[in-house]
Chains A and B, each alone.
Chain A
Amino acid sequence: MYKKGLLFLSIFLFFIACMGLYAVQEQDLNTTSGKSIIIKPGLDFEYFSMIMDLKDEDASADMSLYLIKANCEFEFQNGLFLTATLGYAVNNFKSMIFRDLPISVELDVEGVGGYLFGGSLRKTLAYFNDFEIEGQGDFVYNYGTEKSWPVPGLSVSGEVTGKPTWMRIVAGPKIIYGGFENIYPYAALNFYKLWGTFTMDQTIEDLTGKEEKSMSGKNFINAVLGTDIIASEFLHLRGQLEILPHSDGSNFGFLIGFRYLF
């Protein structure tokens, strides 16, 4: 899982780098005509929850996440946007049952940390009157940090140590309405996939065990409704809601963020 994640991350970063080089090259040609790259550092707060199907088990668990992402977006004149992301995630889990440990445990915990790495790209594909159509892709990799909890109620002391690792890919078309001044409402329908593992170690005196649980988000798509607001010459704001439908109902997500323009 860890190796797969690094592979995905490497491919994605390589892809972004290639696109970036292409864009910069094209930009250099355009610079002669007085155009330049716009750099927009910013911060996003994101929340979403989902039901995770557990591989090879007739069971699922609830996961909810708070993400704080520091982004640096490069806007090129040719309509290409590249973003590199670093951040921190707070993972919360509920009804995550580990039966392959010597003493079975059910996790209902909050605040499992993780470092986020990722990036995104979007490109304007077409214009129709006041509407703009973009293609966009986003990748985030959560490298979880270990967290330990005591196992209650035993006649000796013991603990479990958990570490979640996951990846998320979101890609799809986005329609932006450009008919307003400084306000750009948008809607998107994306392929959305989150998958990963939760590794749990148990140590109770000389009784030890390890269980790695493969998990995958129940939903495959998300629908997004949001607005970009140009608050000032230097400040852009974003508010976004998402719905993540799946066979048992829906989950929701929310994002607010800003970009500062140089």
Chain B
Amino acid sequence: MNKHGKIALLCIILVFTAAAAGFNYDNNQKNHKGRTRLDPGQFQSIGFYSNLRKSRQEYASDRIVVKFKPMLSEQAAAAVVQATDSQIIKKISQFNIFIIKTPQETPVEEMLYTFQRNPDVEYAELDYKTRITVTPNDILFEYQYSLSNQGQAIGIPGSPQGKNSADIKATAGWEETKGLEDVIIAIVDTGVDLKHPDLINKLYSDGYDFVNDDDEADDDHGHGTHVAGIAAAETDNNEGIAGVAWNCKILPVKVMDAQGEGYYSWMISGIDYAVQQGAEVINLSLGGDVDSANLKNILKAAYENDVIVVASAGNDNNPVLYPAAYDEYCLAVAASDYDDLRPDWSNFGPEVDVAAPGVRILSCVPTWFWGPASLPYAFSTGTSMAAPHAAGLAALLKGIKTWLSPSDIMNIIRYTSDDINQGEHPGKDDYIGYGRINMEKALVPIKITGGN
């Protein structure tokens, strides 16, 4: 063969060898993603996959995970590994998977490619890093089954155990957002303990007291402090509990007295005040039996001012209370429990939009509540405790999707809920509405997969 012939032959070999390598590489990539293995002749095999680039995920620089073909003996596998100057660190016999330490002088990506090309290897992968989901360090977090339920005992020894995953998936939701400081949740209630260690840094202002007509919305009952803690207690501060909306601010508005009672006029004034103060979300863990045009109008005004109003359905196993019953302007929240069941006292009706945990919920109580010798936290039950879970979620959504209307945000909360009673009442029903709220689905991008 003359010189030209040799060069020509070399070029052809180069092109077609590289093409063949492309076929193999493509197949290996597809396999390690768990897809169907393709025959080299199939159309999809034409070409190269892109993953020789540096992955954006982190992985061990000296380790890979290899699965050899089932017919290969352990000795033969060991010989394959030895031939690459690598070492077997561990074998998971049941699956014929080997964790292999790669030689220091060779980049791990190169070793991966070597193993992927080996015909004895079913697939080889980098040893990617894992991480835990966001778990706050608040010392009482383990008792907050509503945020993360792993079937733990709820409260003191002898308390019932929850059902795994009967929660609002808060830890997964916090991966996406923990809220913005400039999103304000108004707690229109009995006031908020302005000196509570888990709330003091979260207050937007001292608020307003419509019961005593002064500008200190302190809590002389305890209910409002409990509600505020659920929605937005200071979180990851090594103290107390975690709130749903870590970073959002609380605006205390006192519209109920020391007995936990108030008047519609106080509530209407409180809602109006919250809107004027710039609250994006208003939580109303209160209600009355009487329909009121004034109350409806003030809710309408809040809604038209882009404020999301969340209200509790009530605790009497009766029709939904007002203002929760004003369906158009308000997200009505019923209760679920630590087993994802509806407690029989939770109010019902077509106005119920969603449910949230409302049984044995741990949250803040005023510092005077137990006295100085005890931690200022307590368990409480009711749809009053359910509503602030949804209000916290609304605040998180408002922070990352600022352009959405209250109607959109309420719909997101509704449509991303888990239909926990679908066996009994499939679809939207009068008891838990669309279902128990799910922070993960509402906040974290939902993965859509699909082929041809």
Complex-state Cα separation, A182 to B416, whole angstroms = 64
The tally of residues in A whose CB lies under 8 Å from a CB in B reads 59
CB-nearest residue of chain A relative to B411? Answer: A207
Report the minimal beta-carbon distance from A120 to chain B, rounded to whole angstroms: 20
Tell whether, in the assembled complex, residue B418 and residue A50 are in contact, meaning their CB atoms are under 8 Å apart. no
Among A66, A180, A204, A250, the residue within 8 A (CB) of B415 is A204
Complex-state Cα separation, A2 to B411, whole angstroms = 32
Q: At the interface with chain B, which of A28-36, A138-146, A147-155? A: A147-155
Report the minimal beta-carbon distance from B18 to chain A, rounded to whole angstroms: 5
Q: Which residues of B have CB within 8 Å of A160?
A: 448
CB-nearest residue of chain B relative to A183? Answer: B8
Mostly, the A contact residues are strand
Tell whether, in the assembled complex, residue B401 and residue A109 are in contact, meaning their CB atoms are under 8 Å apart. no
Tell whether, in the assembled complex, residue A227 and residue B12 are in contact, meaning their CB atoms are under 8 Å apart. yes
Q: Which residues of A have CB within 8 Å of B442?
A: 103
| B303 interfacial by beta-carbon distance below 8 Å | no
Tell whether, in the assembled complex, residue A151 and residue B446 are in contact, meaning their CB atoms are under 8 Å apart. yes
Complex-state Cα separation, A103 to B4, whole angstroms = 63
| A197 interfacial by beta-carbon distance below 8 Å | no
**Contacts A103-B442, A155-B428, A239-B16 known; A64 to B50 CB distance under 8 Å?**
yes
| A126 interfacial by beta-carbon distance below 8 Å | no
Among A46, A108, A180, A249, the residue within 8 A (CB) of B54 is A249
Tell whether, in the assembled complex, residue B446 and residue A99 are in contact, meaning their CB atoms are under 8 Å apart. no
Most buried by A among B56, B176, B400: B56
| B48 interfacial by beta-carbon distance below 8 Å | yes
CB-nearest residue of chain B relative to A186? Answer: B11
**Contacts A106-B445, A110-B451, A180-B7 known; A248 to B54 CB distance under 8 Å?**
yes
Q: Which residues of B contact A (CB under 8 A)?
A: 4-5, 7-8, 11-12, 14-16, 18-19, 22, 43-44, 46-50, 52-54, 56, 176, 400-401, 404, 408, 411-412, 414-419, 427-428, 434-435, 441-452
Q: List 27 A-B contacts (CB under 8 A).
A: A49-B50, A51-B50, A66-B43, A103-B415, A103-B442, A104-B176, A104-B443, A105-B446, A109-B451, A110-B451, A111-B452, A152-B447, A152-B448, A153-B446, A154-B415, A154-B416, A155-B414, A155-B419, A155-B428, A177-B7, A204-B411, A207-B408, A227-B11, A239-B19, A246-B53, A250-B53, A256-B19
9 more contacts with CB within 8 A, not counting A104-B446, A149-B448, A180-B4, are: A49-B48, A66-B46, A155-B416, A156-B415, A158-B415, A177-B7, A183-B8, A205-B415, A252-B49
4 nearest A-B residue pairs (beta carbon): A47-B47, A249-B53, A49-B50, A252-B48
Q: Which residues of A contact B (CB under 8 A)?
A: 45-51, 60, 62, 64, 66, 90, 97-100, 102-111, 149, 151-156, 158, 160, 177, 179-180, 183, 185, 204-207, 225-227, 239-241, 246, 248-254, 256
